[in-house]
Amino acid sequence: MKLRKLVALAAVMAMTMALMAGCGGSGSSDSGDADGAGVLKIGGIGPSTGPAALYGLAVKNGGELAVKEINEANPDGLQLEWMWQDDEHDAEKSVNAYNKLVDDGMQILVGSVTTTPCTAVAAEAFENRTFALTPSASGPAVTEDNDNVFQLCFSDPNQGIASADYIKEHFADKTVGIIYNNADNYSSGIRDKFKSEYEDGGKKVTEATFTDETTDFKAQLNTMKDAGVDLLFLPIYYAPAANIMTQAAQIGYAPTYFGVDGMDGILGADGFDASLAEGVLLLTPFTPYSEDENIKEFVKKYEDAYGETPIQFAADAYDCVYAIYDAYQKTGLDADASMEDICEAMIKVFTGDFTASGLTAESMKWNEAGEVDKTPKVCIIQDGKYVEQ
C-alpha cells in the first residue's frame, strides 16, 4: 500500500513537473548551447550500507569526485549537483530512494548500482521517463524493454561469455567448476551464458549452487574437490566469495579462482585475510594500478579525498557522470529542462553516434538495447594488488 502510494505520488509529481516545464515553454530550446549557468541534478542510488556497501560507496564517491571536477573545471558553464540515496541492495528500498530523488527534483539518474534493485528502479524510471545510466547493474533485465536505461558496465551475458572464452584460451587443461547463487539474477545470469559458451566445445563444468541464507559451503566445495575441479568460476559478490575462499582453505582445497566484477572489492572487506585472495583472477575493466596517466591521476585524487584505493565501481561511476555531462552538452537543453525532455533527448544522443571515453574504456558506444560496447580486461591479484594480464 505504502509503496503504491509513493509510486502514485511520484507519478503525480512527475506529471506536475512536466506540466510546469510545458508552461514555461523553455523545455526544449534549440539554441544548441548549454553553457548558460544552471544546475543539472544528477541522482545516484546504491547500497552505501548493507552486504554490497563497498560497491555503493565506491559509486557514491566516484560520482561525487567527477561532479566536483566538472564543476571546478568550468565554474561558468553547466554545473552538476550530485544527490545520493542509499538502497541497502534492496529492491523495495531502491524504488523508495528513486521516488525520493524524483521528489527532490532529480533530472538524470546514475543507478541503481546492483542488478536486482536496478531492475525494479528501471521499471519505475521507464514509467516516469527518467534517463538512467547505471554504472554497474549488469543484468539483462535492467535494460530489457526499457529504452531509457543504459549500462556503463558489461552486461551479464557479456561477462559470462568473455570469462568462458578467456578460460578456454588460457586454461585449456583445467577442470572447471562453478559455484553460483541461484537466488540472484546477477549470478545465475552470468552462469547461464558461461555454461553454454564453455560447454560449446564439448567440455563439461561441475556446478553447485547456494542461496542468500547459505553459510556452510563445505558440501559444495567437497563436490568440487571430489570432481577434481582446479579452476573455480565464482560469478558472485565478494562476501560469499570470501566465505568460500575461507572455507576452502579450511578443508585444504586450493583451486584457481576466477571472478567477475562482483569479486572486485574483496581486498577491502573488513577482517578479510587478503592472502586468501592471492592468485585470484577477475574480469574487470579497471585496475587502480594501471600505468595510464588518467587513471593514475584519478586514483590519486580519490585516495586523497576518501582515504582508500578506488575499485572498479568508483571508476564506473566517474565515467557515468562524464558520459552524462558530455552527452548533455550534445542535447542542447538548458539545465532546467524537465526530466522527461531530458530523457528523450539523452536517449537520442546515446543511441546516436555518441562515444564516451573514460577510465574503464577508450571509446564506449551504446546500442539501442542500452548495452555498452567495450573490451573486458582480466586481472590477477598479486601481493594484494591487481595486475593486468
Q: Which is nearer to another protein, 108 or 224 (CB)?
A: 224
Q: Which residue, 88 or 261, has its beta carbon nearer to another protein?
A: 88
The answer to whether 179 and 194 have CB atoms below 8 angstroms apart is no
The alpha-carbon radius of gyration of the chain (Å, integer) is 21
Residue number with CB closer to another protein (150 or 238): 238
Report the residue number, 38 or 51, with the smaller CB distance to another protein.
Answer: 51
- Minimal distance, residue 366 CB to another protein, in Å: 33
Torsions phi, psi of 388, nearest 5? -70, 135
**What is the nearest approach in angstroms of another protein to the Cβ of residue 243?**
5
Smallest distance, Å, CB 184 to another protein?
13
| CB neighbour burial string for 15-50, b if at least 16 within 10 angstroms, e if fewer | eebbeebeeeeebbeeeeebeeeeebbbbbbbbbeb
Its sign, for the CA torsion 348, 366, 138, 335, is negative
**Residues that bind another protein in the complex, under the rule CB under 8 A:** 49-51, 53-54, 88, 182, 208-211, 213-220, 222-223, 226, 239-240, 242-243, 246-247, 250-252, 269-273
Between 185 and 331, CB nearer to another protein: 185
Between 220 and 331, name the residue whose CB sits nearer to another protein.
Answer: 220
By CB atoms closer than 10 A (0-12, 13-18, 19+), residue 175 is middle
Q: Rounded to the nearest whole angstrom, what is the least distance from the CB of residue 369 to another protein in the complex?
A: 31
Q: Which is nearer to another protein, 216 or 388 (CB)?
A: 216
